[in-house]
Amino acid sequence: MDAGSSSTKDVFVYMGEGSNVPENVKHARIHPSVTVIPAGAFRDCTKLQTIEIPEGVVEIKDRAFSCCYILEDVIIPSTVKRIGDMAFSNARITTITLPEGLETMERGVFVGASPPSSFRVPPLITVLPSGVFYGCRYIFSLELPEGIRELGQQSLGNIDSLRNVAISPLANMDWFTFDKCNDLKSVFATSSQVRNAIQHRFDNLPIHKMLYYQSYNDVTLEQLNDATNMRSGMRSLRSKLDTSGNQQDTLGMTPLHILACSTVHDIDMYRIIVDNYPDNLITKDKWGALPILYAIWGRAPLDIVEFLVDNMLSIHPDHEFDSVKMFETLARTDSAWGADVQWELLDTFLHYVHDELRPELNTTSWWNMMLHKSAADSTSFDEPGISPTALQFLATHGLWRQLGLWSGLFVENVMEILDKAVEDVDRRTCLNELLSDLDRNEKEYWI
């Protein structure tokens, strides 16, 4: 351990160029004297969990944190102006905060990484270079500043789940900017249609646009109120509801969808939209998703999730809520952030949404349905199919409740098999083994 490290907290203190980083370092801190984190400083530190970067650091150089597979919360200080090529490539990052003053992100900064599913690019960024987010498969919402004017080749490529994104019509895009973005390609026939939809997403939709860019413009409740209620005259107290708030943009989203996708959440803004446009609660976008899905997927505060559920129940009590489709979407996110994050998403869904909106469906029934669905789809245990972590979640919440009917030994065996699957040990073999055990126990216990 470096002489500057803390023995009580087991934190390695990095002193800059030439520091010998321990091979198995788990916790590290950049010394305040360091202003530039050198190229490859923590590259391949596969056990690194936490990194403290102090104010005063101005640049993170190429591949500085490449292949750090289990990084947790990363806060980039306000003084950092540049992040170099592939600095966080192939890193799993539970959360990362980029500073408002960041000016440059170089090629492939997050290529192959797993940053948070709802991600915001700072306002001074005007260029997204080649591959900057390539392969960030689980980002579903990407907030980009309106000032971005150039997007390089595959800068947003191979983001399987990308849905909520907007780009100015003035920006230059490479033909392959959205290459292999499967969710986008599932609702548009050609790459040209994808680009056109994203660049003209908010045409004649001022409320949608205001909410997408709210984190950049510091939108106030008063501004949102004024936008939803158009004044009929300078001195008149009368106002008229702006009906565009009930419309859907080119991605099928309403203002409430966009709020739920956002990286910032103000419950009073939700109240304004729901009060004025209650049908937003049950309007489906082009993927058949309701706003509540994106609130869970983006890990919105629980009071937001509860607000949406309560209003769905009170305003639209007869709406037939498709909880199975929502589970399937959350289940495919797999364990790129780690099983703990997916477990959190599914637990929020189960206890705050499903149990309220579809209490008649028990988790044991879901276990059977999802396992057989996996068997019917030969690729379902490969991404983006239903993940072993999701099946493990259902097993925990469903099977253990049925010990009076199911063999305890069978349940233990299921969990052992799923542990292997989560660890990527021949998922197809694991699935077949599960099905064999399930069929045998269904016959024995008449489940």
Spell out a b/e string for 139-173, using b for 16 or more CB atoms within 10 Å of the CB, else e: bbbbbbbbebeebbbbbbbbbbbbbbbbbeeebeb
Q: Cβ(5)–Cβ(13) under 8 Å?
A: yes
Contacts of 302 (CB under 8 A, 6+ apart): 348, 352
pLDDT of residue 380: 42
**Count of domains in the chain?**
1
Mean pLDDT of 55-69: 96
Please provide residue 332's backbone torsions phi and psi, each rounded to the nearest 5 degrees: -80, -10
Of 132, 194, 140, 187, nearest to 157 by C-alpha is 132
Asked whether residue 198 is domain-assigned, the answer is no
| Whole-number pLDDT of residue 137 | 83
Structure tokens at 179: 């290459």
Task: Tell me what pLDDT residue 37 has.
Answer: 98
Higher pLDDT, 291 or 370: 291
Cβ-defined contacts of 110-114 (< 8 Å, 24+) = 110/136, 111/86, 111/135, 111/136, 112/136, 113/88, 113/89, 114/138, 114/336, 114/337
pLDDT given at position 333:
58
pLDDT at 103 over 60: yes
- Kindly state whether residue 381 falls inside one of the protein's structural domains: yes
Look up residue 359 and give its two tokens: 């209490």
pLDDT over threshold 60, residue 337:
no
Mean pLDDT of 371-376: 56
On average, the pLDDT of the chain sits at 84
Q: Report the predicted TM-score, pTM, of the whole model to 2 decimal places.
A: 0.87
353 located within any domain: yes
Q: What is the pLDDT of residue 230?
A: 78
Query: What residue numbers bound the domain in which 368 lies?
Result: 320-447
Q: State percent of the chain over pLDDT 90.
A: 61
How does residue 321 score in pLDDT terms, banded at 50, 70 and 90?
A: confident
For 129-138, 144-153, 194-203, 398-407, which range has the lowest pLDDT when averaged over its residues?
Answer: 398-407
The pLDDT assigned to 241 comes to 93
Task: Return the higher-pLDDT residue of 96 and 407.
Answer: 96
Residues 251-265: what's their mean pLDDT?
97
Tell me whether residue 374 is in a domain: yes
Confidence at residue 65, expressed as pLDDT on a 0 to 100 scale: 97
What pLDDT is recorded for position 116? 85
State the DSSP string of 73-88.
-EE--TT--EE-TTTT
C-alpha dihedral over 263, 264, 265, 266, to 10 degrees? Answer: -160
Over residues 349-375, the mean pLDDT reads 67
Tokens of 68: 């750090």
Could you tell me if residue 216 is inside a domain? no
Q: How far apart are CA 206 and CA 228, in angstroms?
A: 9
For 120-175, the pLDDT digits (tens) are 999 999 999 999 999 998 899 999 999 999 999 999 999 989 999 999 999 999 88
Reported as a single tens digit per residue, the pLDDT across 238-248 is 678 999 999 99
Q: Is residue 434 part of a domain?
A: yes
Q: Is the pLDDT of residue 204 over 90?
A: yes
In a domain, 433, yes or no: yes
Share of the chain above pLDDT 70, in %: 75
Residue 445 confidence (pLDDT) = 46
Burial class (CB in 10 A: 0-12, 13-18, 19+), 229: middle
Model pLDDT for residues 33-48, shown as the tens digit of each residue: 999 999 999 999 999 9
In a domain, 340, yes or no: yes
